[in-house]
Structure formats: C-alpha cells, structure tokens
Structure 1
C-alpha cells in the first residue's frame, strides 16, 4: 500500500513539473509581419518563429493563444496566458505594470502614411491603433487622434477619408505602401519611439524572464535572430 501511495505521489510531482514547463504565449494575430493568422488558422510570422525558437532554447513547451490588442496586458495579468509576444514596444509606462525581457527586435522608426503627399500630419486627423505608443505620440503632437481596435482599421480610415494619415511602425506599413500601387505613401518625418520590442511578463515571473532573456541573448550571439529579422522584414531593416 505504501509503495502504491509513493508511486502516486511521485507521479503527481512529475506531472506537476511537466505542467510547469508549459508556457502560453499570447499574441494578437493581426499585425503582419510580426504576427498574423495564416490560411491554416495558425499563428504565423516573425514572432511565431522567434517564440518557437526561444521556447526550444529555454527547454519549454509553448502553446499559442490569440487575444485582442486592447486587452492584451489585462489578460496577461489575469493569467489567461504567461507571456505577451505581440510586437509590443518596451516603454516606461508599460514597464510600471508588467515586466519585459530584453528586446528581440531593435528600436525602429514609426512613420506617417497618407494618400496625399501634402497631408497635414501636424494638426489633421491621424489614425493609430488604440493603446500603442504611436497613438500616445499622436495624442501629444497637436494632431487629432482617431483610434481603432485593429491595425487594418487604421489604414482603412486613410483610404476612406476619415483620417489624413495613419501613424504606425514602418515595418508594418512598408509592405502595405509597396502593394498599394502608389495610392499610399510615406509623408512627414519618421519618429523613433520605444526601446525595441520585448516579451511582456508578469512582474512575479522572474525565473521565466531569466530563461527567456538567456534564450534571446543566445539568438543574438549566434546571429539567428538577425537571420529571422531579415527573413520577415527584408535586408534593410535594422538588426542587432
């Protein structure tokens, strides 16, 4: 009887240890090339490749979860997933409520895109995704901010005349501009915002943060992170 109880206890401990190694990665799935849902209904893009490789190097089993951007931090805090990997820039404001890994994508430019080269981005109506550093910048710039829940809606607002320009990451807008056949163009000056893109974690998850930091650093050291950046964003994108 004692042997049965001991075996059961050991099995429970083993099962618990295995379960502790499963980490849920939360992403938006609507911000290509960082993250998007492919034709098979799966999370894809730069962050899928990065997240899978980080988990492999950290010896973790990772599951992917999608969540709308405007509630992505509250749902991390409430335990719906363990990590945010969603093109989230590291900022002082966000760092007050969650913790960040070291960046896995370097600080990059944000740009205005419009249909008119003379678009007034200084005082006109500018669209941006809600809760982003770009929306915060527009709100403080003197322009009128028009916020939307998804990045695609911010671009649509320019095309249908609701906004004179959209303000977002250059790496998100560049392929949209390239595919617009001249309808859309960059206007004004690029703006540098944030400290690069990092994984968002609960402040209590210090051990998990350390594992992810080590994995990211190893990808920087062996050049594999730069290779993934070039694969998804092209050779002109800033690298480490």
Structure 2
C-alpha cells in the first residue's frame, strides 16, 4: 500500500525527482471522480488509477501526497513533491510556471449548475474554485465571481443561496447533480475550456517528464487509458 502524506510533512525534502528513490505524486483529494479520499483515508479515483499505472509503466516507485488546491503549484516548485496529478488543465498561464506532460484526459466541458433555471449566469453571482480555469472564465463573463478553496464549498454556496450557480468541470458536477435528487440542475450551455489535463512537473525535471510522457502514450496506444476514462466517467465520456 502506498503511503499518503501531507505536503507539510514533506516540506524539508528537496532535490530533483530523478535523484530520489521515490517520485511524490501530489493530488488534492477533494475532486471526485478525478481524485478523493476513500473511507480508509487513501487517495482514490480516476487519477489514482492512472497515476499508479503510469508509475508502473515508467518503472518508478511513486508515493501519493495530498495538498490543498490553492497552494498546489507553489509547493511543487518549492520541492515539497515532484508531480501534480489533480485534475489540472493545461493552460498557457500555468505552463509559464511549471511544465506538463501530454494530456491524460482530453479537453472536456465545464458547466453551470443551480437550484433553478431562472438564474442570471452573466449578471448574477457564480461560485467557482479558486485558481481554476473556471474561476478565470467567470471573472471574464460579467458575473460576480465568488471563489472558494474547495469544490464542496462552491456547491454549498449554491445550496445556501450565497451564489446563484456554480461553474466547474462537468464531470465533477454530474454526480453532484444526480445525487441531489432534483435539487440542483444544469443550466446554460456547456463551455469547453483548457487543453486537457496533464501531469504537472517542475520545468527542470525533463527526464521525469519524458518517462511519464512515454507511459501515458503507451496507455493511449493500447487503449487502457480510454478504459479507465469510461470506468470512472461512463460510456458517454470523451476519450482519446
């Protein structure tokens, strides 16, 4: 069983990933079905399965760590862990700070969910998780952006009436809407954002990036990556 630690417990560990015995894979642990903590407190979800398979194919020993979303990039660049595998879309803004592998999840839709169809998505208050491409989109849409540190808090803001709608990855919103038993509904049109989801790394870790890239490509080539996407997101999910 792989060890799960907090970033704080690793704060004194520095150095290039390939110089170490293990590669530390950071995720948020709060964005199902991409990543979450199961009842045993272990990292679970689509990205746990993908990450484990990538590490096996790359012949790497990997260790899962968790970190809050709003500091996940700074803690990567400061050396607290070696990769980010946390539903992070590849964008030019992020790519200017860190490096990315090729995407392991194709560009997907973002969507709005609300308690009623009669919401103003461009003039009302829309909740989004801070530091996401969805938050940037809301800020540019004309709506009042209400940012929260976690996805769960964005949904809670809609249910409490603090926000008119939430804007997030549609794949994350689908189970939330379905489990609400009609309390929440999708509103407006889907919005395509980002260049797909990739593994984030420090720009200096080119050897590690190449190893992970090769592993991801092999999963695309043999269809195993598509199988995991369908397993976690359903038959209608967009695949490679």
For the criterion TM > 0.5, the same-fold answer is yes
Provide runs of 4+ in structure 1 moved above 2 Å. Answer: 17-21
CA distance in 2, matches of 1:18, 1:57: 15
SS class of match (1:199): strand
Cα distance, 1:20 vs. partner? 2.7
Match of 2:175 in 1: 175
In structure 1, the gaps of 5 or more residues are 1-16
1:121-140 maps to which residues of 2 (within 5 A)?
121-140=121-140
Cα distance, 1:118 vs. partner? 1.3
Matched residue count:
224
Match of 1:115 in 2: 115
CA distance in 2, matches of 1:151, 1:92: 23
In structure 2, the gaps of 5 or more residues are 1-16
Match of 2:228 in 1: 228
CA distance in 2, matches of 1:33, 1:144: 28
CA distance in 2, matches of 1:229, 1:21: 30
- What per-residue deviation string (whole Å, max 9, x for no partner) do you get for residues 13-54 of structure 1? xxxx99734100000000000000001110000000000000
Match of 1:239 in 2: 239
Larger Rg: 1
1:86-97 maps to which residues of 2 (within 5 A)?
86-97=86-97
CA distance in 2, matches of 1:122, 1:20: 48
Does residue 92 of structure 2 align to residue 80 of structure 1?
no
Tell me the TM-score normalised to structure 1 length: 0.92
Give the alignment's Cα RMSD to 1 decimal: 1.2
Match of 1:24 in 2: 24
Cα distance, 1:151 vs. partner? 0.2
CA distance in 1, matches of 2:18, 2:126: 48
Does residue 162 of structure 2 align to residue 194 of structure 1?
no
CA distance in 2, matches of 1:30, 1:93: 23
- The answer on whether the counterparts of 2:18 and 2:207 sit within 8 Å (CA) in structure 1 is no
CA distance in 1, matches of 2:159, 2:235: 29
1:25-44 maps to which residues of 2 (within 5 A)?
25-44=25-44
1:133-148 maps to which residues of 2 (within 5 A)?
133-148=133-148
Q: Which has the higher helix share?
A: 1
CA distance in 2, matches of 1:74, 1:200: 12
- The answer on whether the counterparts of 2:103 and 2:197 sit within 8 Å (CA) in structure 1 is yes
SS class of match (1:40): coil
